[in-house]
Amino acid sequence: MAANRQGSARKVSSARLKGKPRGAPASPSPQQNHLLDALPASDYARLQAHLELVPMALGEVLYEPGGHLRHVYFPTTSIVSLLYVMEDGASAEIAVVGNEGMLGISLFMGGETTPSHAVVQSAGYGVRLKSQLLKQEFARFGPMMHLLLRYTQALITQMAQTAVCNRHHSLDQQLCRWLLLSLDRLQGSELVMTQELIANMLGVRREGVTEGALKLQQAGLIRYARGRISVLNRPGLEERTCECYGVVKKEYDRLLPEDLAT
């Protein structure tokens, strides 16, 4: 399990990174994560020496249900899906986390484990921090605590809206919502993603994703080839999606504005 890999992580201050994921920035930085970037300088400086930069490979499992959370993760250039997997193997995504957030909220919510899987859906980098250090920082009742509580409220909104969307809206609308949420958490307009992985995220058959992607491509909204999705017309996707995307985005923008934590 990725959380137990001690040898793969490097301190942020390392001079060179090996095995960089394709498309990652030349100089990955912890402050590409919006939560870390929003911290006042003094709070960030207290954590900086303990932040470890880790590569996140496509399909890598960061957390498994019931596993002890030894680290929390702050994605910088990667995207991670929170998934529930049923006894028969069927799965569905309940939330997506990228550079706007973190993984491991159960640590400061009173628990030490999570009931969901956390799987990398778009390769890149992230920053990890030992769980005990995060809890100590949270217990200071300072800017980090306020940021994480606001982020948690936004994440709960995304989870609730995802459940509503999966129940009441068409696959075409769900696919548009999923693409937009993913784009909001990436630099650029291209996703590296197979139809099978998208189907697992949405909890639908692969044939349905194929049909939905073809419709979007025929409408000139995306280009899909060899596992790469290029968004050609974002406003068109926003018009085509359901209201769920707007609800989630509005809540993130309201709770996590682009200013320092207070």
**Total count of domains within the chain:** 2
pLDDT digits (tens, 9 = 90+) for 31-64: 999 999 999 999 999 999 999 999 999 889 999 9
pLDDT confidence band for 109 (50 / 70 / 90): confident
Residue 220: give the domain boundaries.
170-241
252 in any annotated domain: no
The proportion of the chain whose per-residue pLDDT surpasses 90, expressed as a percent, equals: 55
Residues 6+ away with beta carbon under 8 Å from 229? 179, 190, 191, 192, 193, 213, 222, 223
Do 34 and 79 reside in the same domain of the chain? yes
Cβ-count burial of 234 within 10 angstroms (0-12 exposed, 13-18 middle, 19+ buried)?
Answer: middle
CA dihedral 52, 55, 57, 60 (to 10 degrees): -10
248 in any annotated domain: no
Do 119 and 22 reside in the same domain of the chain? yes
Work out the mean pLDDT of the chain and round it to a whole number: 84
- Lowest mean pLDDT segment, chosen from 9-13, 23-27, 193-197: 9-13
Do 180 and 151 reside in the same domain of the chain? no
139 in any annotated domain: yes
Last residue of a domain, one of 164, 186, 215: 164
- Asked if the model's pLDDT at residue 15 lies above 50, the reply is no
What letter would DSSP give residue 203? T
DSSP string, 134-172: HHHHHTTTSHHHHHHHHHHHHHHHHHHHHHHHHHHS-HH
